[in-house]
Amino acid sequence: MLEDIAKIPNIMRNIKRAIMLIGYVYNCSGLLNMMRRYIRHKELLRPATTRFAISFIMLSSIHHQKDCLRKMFTSQEWISSKWAKEIEGKNVAQIVLMPTFWTSIVYSLKVASPPVRVLKLVDGDKRPPMGYIYEAMERAKEVIAKAFGWNEEKYKDIFKIIDTKWNIQLHRPLHAAGHFMNPEYFYSNPNIEQDEEVMGGLYQCIERLVPTTKVQDKIS
């Protein structure tokens, strides 16, 4: 999902600009030291928990330091530096001072942050994810829709990517059964037994595990 989201032209262009920014700064030790002073000795390039999420984690890291980076690239220290006179340095400064760069980052994070959180849940070892993945995907879509004020026109292409991967490649009856059998969700949703998709997945699992109709009825 994240790979396909990253292929959306506007997002892909933004990721390339972010890579250019980080690549240039980290390849110049003097400039890197300058940047670290402005961002209070933190790092822009953070290690990712999973390789598919690294581009969006990078954008989040840059966005978090937006004010500090803009302050640096408008400072006298930058203007009088040798890097400000280089073509690549000018291009990087232009990126940081470009309003559309930051608005595009906000858009990218609105659509990608919820799937990144789901991916961390699946990759994590704090708890088995099977009983949580179904709800996590539902909530991820809800967070995306809410971020765009429930204006479907703004997120329909993202939902198409998510639904294609989820419904065709990822979603299995076991996810629905895991959701139903998770006490956290079962007891917080009194209408769970009226959810056709959840109950359908549960019954498919029961039918596969137990071929005898009589025993299936007892389990139900």
SS3 161: helix
Residue 105 scores a pLDDT above 80: yes
SS (H, E, C) 166-191: HHHHHCCHHHHHHHHCCHHHHCCCCC
Output the average pLDDT for the chain: 92
Report how far Cα 219 is from the mean position of its chain's Cα atoms.
38
* Residue 50 pLDDT: 61
Q: 188 and 100: one domain?
A: no
Q: 210 and 193: one domain?
A: yes
Residue 120, domain extent: 2-170
* Residue 74 pLDDT: 97
Q: 10 and 109: one domain?
A: yes
Q: 32 and 9: one domain?
A: yes
* Residue 160 pLDDT: 94
Tell me the CA distances in angstroms from 155 to 120, 159, 162, 206, one per residue in order. 22, 6, 11, 36
pLDDT in tens, 40-53: 888 887 655 566 68
Q: How large is the average pLDDT for residues 140-154?
A: 95
* Residue 167 pLDDT: 82
The tokens 């390849």 sit on which residue?
27
Q: How large is the average pLDDT for residues 74-98?
A: 97
* Residue 47 pLDDT: 53
Q: How large is the average pLDDT for residues 94-119?
A: 95
**C-alpha to C-alpha distance for 83 and 113, rounded to whole angstroms:** 33
Side-chain half-sphere exposure of 11, counting CA atoms within 13 A = 20
Last residue of a domain, one of 170, 191, 208: 170
Q: 30 and 80: one domain?
A: yes
Last residue of a domain, one of 170, 186, 208: 170
SS3 42: coil
* Residue 11 pLDDT: 94
Q: 179 and 203: one domain?
A: yes
Report how far Cα 192 is from the mean position of its chain's Cα atoms.
28
Q: 87 and 21: one domain?
A: yes
DSSP per-residue string spanning the chain: -HHHHHTSHHHHHHHHHHHHHHHHHHT-HHHHHHHHHHTTT--SSPPPSSGGGHHHHHHHHHHHTHHHHHHHTTSHHHHTSSGGGSHHHHHHHHHHT-HHHHHHHHHHHHHHHHHHHHHHHHH-SSS-GGGTHHHHHHHHHHHHHHHTTT-HHHHHHHHHHHHHIIIIII--HHHHHHHHT-HHHHTT-TTGGG-HHHHHHHHHHHHHH---HHHHHHH-
* Residue 49 pLDDT: 55
Q: 181 and 161: one domain?
A: no
Q: 78 and 67: one domain?
A: yes
Q: 157 and 181: one domain?
A: no
* Residue 125 pLDDT: 76
**C-alpha to C-alpha distance for 82 and 195, rounded to whole angstroms:** 64
Q: 88 and 180: one domain?
A: no
Q: How large is the average pLDDT for residues 82-106?
A: 96
* Residue 46 pLDDT: 60
For the chain, the domain total comes to 2
Residue 102 scores a pLDDT above 60: yes
Q: 94 and 178: one domain?
A: no
* Residue 36 pLDDT: 94
* Residue 120 pLDDT: 86
